[in-house]
Amino acid sequence: MWMIYTIGFIVTIVLALGLTPLVKKFAFKVGAVDVPNARKVHTKIMPRLGGLGIYLSFIIALFLLLPFLPDTLTVREVNFVKAFLVGGSMIVLLGALDDRFDLPAKLKFIIQIATACVVVYGFDIRIEFANIPFHTYSSVESWIAIPFTILWIVGVTNAINLIDGLDGLAAGVSAIAIGTIAVMAFIMGNTIVVLLCLLLLGSILGFLYFNFHPAKIFMGDSGALFLGFCLAMLSLLGFKQVAIVSFLTPLILIGVPLSDTLFAILRRWMQKKPIFSPDKGHLHHCLRELGFSHRQTVLIIYGIAAFFGVLAIIQSSAAMYNANWVTFVVICVMMFFLQIGAEVIGLIGKTKRPVLNFIARLRMKVSEERGSK
């Protein structure tokens, strides 16, 4: 299997390097371009549809390797691969059409729900087991599992799209999350997940050669939605096949887009603005305002994503041995750094810094007490 993993990883990189320039020409030909505006960082018309390069590299490599896969795959794993291909193709088609025609948000949402329903009802992919921290794992009833699975697929599918604001940002964060899943799958002996992750990882890295700053092509919705869908599906297989994986692990994996979204909702609510109204208060915007360059901002967020990845590996490894105290520590560490980071960067607001202000008052009080002695 290691030979298959290695060959697949190399093949996808080579395919992405070769296909992405062709996709770029195709995007210009059909008019799938991104025009600059006040909210966007780029200053010239850029081709979109870069997700097609990732998708095609992944699909071609997977079909090339299918004859060499072992015959020991379970029915569930085979169904999962089929659901992955069918659902992923539907999502890529949706994203590609949106890259060209800017589809209405409601239509995209309906198609995403339809795709999730195909995955759930057509291939019987759903959450079957959950291991909530400080509680033993147990089976999940269908009336809970089905809607939650659909909600999870749709939610995570859109998560990567929320941070696709700088060259190489969404692709790099996705690569880190998928690499983290690969490590966890290897630890748990889930070979099919390892293979899918490595094929995706190679495709993303090959695409990143053209997408890192200064980008020559954007991944567009075709890429952001596809990678979000892949993350949703890969975490679902972990839920389904490995009951010891904690409910929190997938949430930690998408910690960067998830936290950015939650802080955006909180920020807009406090400012009495519509929750879904666009603004320039996202993580990458705030880092740019602090004076970091385009590349520095992207690399900082890569570091944050890697931090979440390490926490996810620690948490899932602890869940294997029911070490719930580790989960508690991970949650505390994550929440602390999230809050402190958000206040320093200004994700909630420039003046909303309750924890930092509390620490400052505490230090001042301690200094006054020392001075009075």
Whole-angstrom distance, CA of residue 316 vs CA of residue 212: 31
Which parts are annotated binding residues? Answer: 161, 221
As a residue count, the chain comes to 373
pLDDT in tens, the chain (373 residues): 778 889 999 999 999 999 999 999 999 999 999 887 655 555 688 999 999 999 999 999 999 998 887 777 788 888 999 999 999 999 999 999 999 999 998 999 999 999 999 999 999 888 765 544 444 445 556 777 789 889 989 988 988 887 887 899 999 999 999 998 898 888 888 888 899 999 999 999 999 999 998 899 999 999 999 999 999 898 876 544 433 344 556 667 677 777 777 777 777 777 777 766 666 667 777 787 788 888 998 999 899 889 888 888 887 776 666 556 676 777 788 778 777 877 777 766 666 677 777 777 878 877 777 776 6
Which parts are annotated binding residues for Mg(2+)? Answer: 161, 221
Residue keyed to tokens 């950015």: 260
Kindly calculate the radius of gyration of the chain based on its CA atoms and give it in whole angstroms.
21
The answer to whether the CB of 223 falls within 8 A of the CB of 31 is no
Tokens representing residue 301 in the block = 């967020």
> Facing residues of 361 across strands?
none
Contacts of 327 (CB under 8 A, 6+ apart): 133, 134, 246, 248, 315, 318, 319
3-state helix, strand, coil in the chain (%, to 5): 75, 5, 25
Contacts of 334 (CB under 8 A, 6+ apart): 252, 255, 308, 311
Contacts of 45 (CB under 8 A, 6+ apart): 33, 34, 35, 36
Q: Give me the amino acid identity at 199.
A: L
CA distances, 213 to each of 54, 218, 267, 303 (Å): 18, 11, 29, 17
Q: What is the DSSP letter of 188?
A: H
CA 103, distance to chain mean position in Å, is: 22
Give pLDDT, residue 246: 46
Q: What is the DSSP letter of 68?
A: G
The answer to whether the CB of 165 falls within 8 A of the CB of 222 is no
Q: Which of 277, 219, 222 is nearest to 98 (CA)?
A: 222
Q: Is 223 left (phi over 0), alpha (psi -120 to 50) or beta?
A: alpha
* 73-74-79-84 Cα dihedral, nearest 10 degrees: -50
Give pLDDT, residue 117: 96
Relative orientation angle of helices 50-65 and 75-101, to the nearest 10 degrees: 160
pTM across the whole model: 0.84
Whole-angstrom distance, CA of residue 201 vs CA of residue 209: 13
User: How many C-beta neighbours within 10 Å does residue 106 have?
Assistant: 8
Whole-angstrom distance, CA of residue 223 vs CA of residue 227: 6
